[in-house]
Amino acid sequence: MIDLSNDDKLVLLQHAIAKYEDENTLIEKLKTVLVQKEIDRGIATLIATQRVRRIGPDVLQNNVSHVGELPDMPEHIKSIVDNL
């Protein structure tokens, strides 16, 4: 697993959600980078801070209408998202 800060993990999750809105697919892709507990905690944090919203039982969506644009993606995260 890659050593990322908590902020980096949240940015990674937001950009991964933009790529894969289906939660099951998202989790399967992220398991190569993060452990299940980190994924679940990150998703819960993003929902609680209203940066991500749940649409239906299995669909996640970035809440750009509430928080604006997605945060800028650092280079070390860009390569991770590209490989998902």
Q: What tens digit of pLDDT does each residue of 19-57 get?
A: 988 999 999 999 998 999 999 999 999 999 999 999 988
What's the rounded Cα separation, in Å, for the pair 55 and 43? 13
DSSP alpha helix (H) spans, the chain = 6-19, 23-30, 36-48, 64-67, 75-83
Q: In the chain, where are the structural domains located?
A: 6-83
pLDDT tens digits for 70-81? Answer: 788 888 888 888
pTM of the model: 0.86
Q: Which fold has domain 6-83?
A: Arc Repressor Mutant, subunit A (1.10.10)
Separation between Cα atoms, residue 2 and residue 77, nearest integer Å: 10
Give yes or no for a contact between 29 and 84, defined as CB atoms under 8 angstroms apart.
Answer: yes
